[in-house]
Amino acid sequence: MPVNSPVLWQTIAQQISQTTGQPFHGQERRSVSGGCINQGYCLMDGEQKYFVKLNQAQQWPMFQAEALGLEAMAATHTIRVPRPICHGSSAGHSYLVLEWLEFGQGNHDSWYRMGQNLAALHQAGGSAQFGWQTDNTIGATPQPNPWTDSWADFFAEHRLGYQLALARRRGGNFPDPTAVVPKVKDLLGDRQPTPALVHGDLWSGNGAILTTGEPVILDPATYYGDGEVDIAMTELFGGFPAGFYQGYHAIHPPEPGYQQRKTLYNLYHILNHFNLFGGGYQQQAQQMLKQCLRI
């Protein structure tokens, strides 16, 4: 059914009312950016506003997992994330309702605070293993998160190995994962980070500053991993302002070997972009494989 289905919007408004305990009729809505994967709407009833993400009905588990990730990060009381209100499916669509946030222009101090808050998130603990309570998605790609004792095993098998297998099935000219996974394990074999709750998809479009000056991170692909994966991705597509890195490193200084690991960690995202969008990402991924794994 089309997105303008009255049944869909009535269902969403009713669930907002039930969840918040405040009457909400959703009398107005306007289209806003929902990213590359979802449709986004601002749903309004007078002064009340909510951000609604929509996708096909079968994508409801994706929204459920996103809500769990946001709740887990919020529970650390370290960094602001959008508060999930409710989620579900109706009229052929799945939906996720989040609090409405007003974005502003950040300055050096607000980005410095962003870095410090992210470092605090990474140091909050919460797990003795790598993985997550459920599988989720990175963009629209499934992201397996089985609990694993070794970071090298987790990243090699459930990040790069998984994406390479997908890429080969989609016609990509990439080496067999059975040749890559052992090399990744060797490269990360001495890396024994404390499991950190990571955003998982922290490119520049998923970090912002509110009109109040408070930093916020959005659209997570949450799991427990090496906190460096978040820092690496902030450098992949344009980078964050310098104040962010100054704030983060004031709490968590760079560790030896990061520059090499950065390429390896970002290879995961470039492979995912090939699996989502194809095109020139194949050549970029091949160059990264040669750079960090000599493959």
Q: In whole angstroms, what is the distance from residue 46 CA to residue 219 CA?
A: 26
Query: What does the pLDDT look like over 9-20, one tens digit per residue?
Result: 999 999 999 999
Considering 201, 219, 226, 230, which one is annotated as catalytic? 201
The single residue listed with the structure tokens 């601002």 is: 42
For residue 3, the model assigns a pLDDT of 82
Q: How many CB atoms lie within 10 A of CB 22?
A: 10
The single residue listed with the structure tokens 């007003």 is: 102
For residue 27, the model assigns a pLDDT of 83
For residue 10, the model assigns a pLDDT of 96
Model pTM? 0.96
Q: In whole angstroms, what is the distance from residue 160 CA to residue 102 CA?
A: 36
For residue 1, the model assigns a pLDDT of 46
Q: Could you tell me if 84 and 97 are in contact, meaning their C-beta atoms sit under 8 angstroms apart? A: yes
Residue 93 gets the label, from left (phi > 0), alpha (psi -120 to 50) or beta, of beta
Nearest to 11 by CA among 69, 95, 70: 95
Q: In whole angstroms, what is the distance from residue 239 CA to residue 245 CA?
A: 10
For residue 72, the model assigns a pLDDT of 98
- Active-site residue, 201 included: yes
Query: What does the pLDDT look like over 71-88, one tens digit per residue?
Result: 999 999 999 999 999 999
Q: Which residues of the chain have pLDDT under 70?
A: 1-2
Q: In whole angstroms, what is the distance from residue 93 CA to residue 36 CA?
A: 17
